Amino acid sequence: MSATAPRPLLMDCDTGIDDAIALLYLCLTPGVDLRAVTTVAGNTSAEQAAVNTLQVLETAGRTDVPVAAGAATTLRGDTNEEATFVHGEGGLGGVRLPAPTAALDPRHAAELIVDTARAAGGDLEILATAPLTNLALALRAEPRLPQLVRHVTVMGGAVHHPGNISPVAEANIGHDPEAAALVLAAGWDLTVVPLDVTMRENLTEAHRLRLLAHGTPVSRLAGEILDFYFAFHEESALPFRGSACHDPLAAGIAVGEVTPKLAPRLPVTVDTADGAARGALVADTRGIHRGYPELPGANAVVVLETDGTFPELLVERLCRPGE
């Protein structure tokens, strides 16, 4: 892939509010070739997330992107509770959109991931903003997948930051620890974007009002669905009306628009035991006082600091002239 060629990208998500904002951002970002979107159970069911994805893509004028639903349960067969208290009924903050005109791709998400990787000739990049079950299933179906994919960016985990589904576990890793462990150990070029940075890049009510005032289908949808998300964050996570930029920040890092200030390469794995630490991302940060020298077994770049300016870039992108 040349330096100026569009970046082939597949997004694997559980389309709730922040996934939807990330999708809109990707659709409006020059140089991004969104090849496919796959969905998994997480914020909502895999099937509802797929319908949400079709609706969001249609709002952005991208009915050409194939969308496939995937895993309804974890690798070991567990069913996680849907996060309606975070994302509202239906996953988009209770906002009702017209039924999509495009149909779902008939393939299982794991099959679409493998097929898209093969078709991209080694150039495909994957952005995962959900439990990693689909990627784990794709790895089982095609063990050579890490050789077929250029890069994987995972929004998930917490290193020094508290978890959000337990004191130590973040939702995307913690909702399927076995899948996450398999994906992190697969040997591909990997970047992990944890809560340490996503919780410090915050959208505010002023941003949301700008989106609504811009008045295009994309900006209006973003402003409307963020209303529910802001209410959740203000009640449980932040001292003001606003929200974290979980999935959108990971998207910004994945496409190269956000350059991390601190992103050491670390050994990372996942606690899969049935105990208090189940689902924790275990990152070896023992080199913290020596500038994080690369340790044996380092398998992922872990983003620990960004500069806090991404929300402004995000809102500007969603308010692009003519969009």
Give me the percent of the chain exceeding a pLDDT of 90.
97
Single-letter amino acid, residue 106: P
Q: What is the pLDDT of residues 117-133, one digit of tens each?
A: 999 999 999 999 999 99
Local structure of residue 102 (DSSP, 8 states): S
CA distance 191 to 189: 7
Average pLDDT (187-196) is 98
Phi, psi of 223 (to 5 degrees): -65, -40
User: Do residues 53 and 102 touch, judged by C-beta distance below 8 A?
Assistant: no
Which of 68, 75, 88 has the alpha carbon at shortest distance from 131? 75
Average pLDDT (161-181) is 98
The residue among 6 and 268 whose pLDDT is bigger is 268
Mean confidence (pLDDT) of the chain: 96
In the chain the beta strands, taken as DSSP E runs, fall at: 7-13, 32-39, 67-69, 124-128, 149-155, 190-193, 202-204, 242-244, 265-266, 268-270, 281-283, 300-302
Catalogue all structural domains in the chain, each as residue range(s) with its CATH number. 7-319 (3.90.245.10)
**Residue 23 pLDDT greater than 90, yes or no:** yes
- Work out the pLDDT band at 4, boundaries 50, 70, 90: low
What does the pLDDT read at residue 320? 85
Q: What is the pLDDT of residues 270-313, one digit of tens each?
A: 999 999 999 999 999 999 999 999 999 999 999 999 999 999 99
Which of 259, 304, 257 has the alpha carbon at shortest distance from 26? 257
- Work out the pLDDT band at 2, boundaries 50, 70, 90: very low
Q: How far is CA 211 from CA 21, 26, 146, in A?
A: 12, 16, 38
Phi, psi of 262 (to 5 degrees): -140, 120
**Residue 322 pLDDT greater than 60, yes or no:** no
Q: What is the pLDDT of residues 197-228, one digit of tens each?
A: 999 999 999 999 999 999 999 999 999 999 99
DSSP-derived pairing of the beta strands 265-266 and 190-193: unpaired
For the chain, the C-alpha Rg in angstroms (whole number) is 18
Phi, psi of 56 (to 5 degrees): -65, -45
From its phi and psi, is residue 217 left (phi > 0), alpha (psi between -120 and 50) or beta? alpha
Other beta carbons within 10 angstroms of residue 6's beta carbon come to 14
Tell me if residue 45 falls in helix, strand or coil: coil
Q: What is the pLDDT of residues 222-255, one digit of tens each?
A: 999 999 999 999 999 999 999 999 999 999 999 9
Point out the residues that are catalytic. Answer: 246
- Work out the pLDDT band at 5, boundaries 50, 70, 90: confident
User: Do residues 57 and 33 touch, judged by C-beta distance below 8 A?
Assistant: no
Residue 190: burial class (beta carbons within 10 Å; 0-12, 13-18, 19+): buried
Q: What is the pLDDT of residues 73-111, one digit of tens each?
A: 999 999 999 999 999 999 999 999 999 999 999 999 999
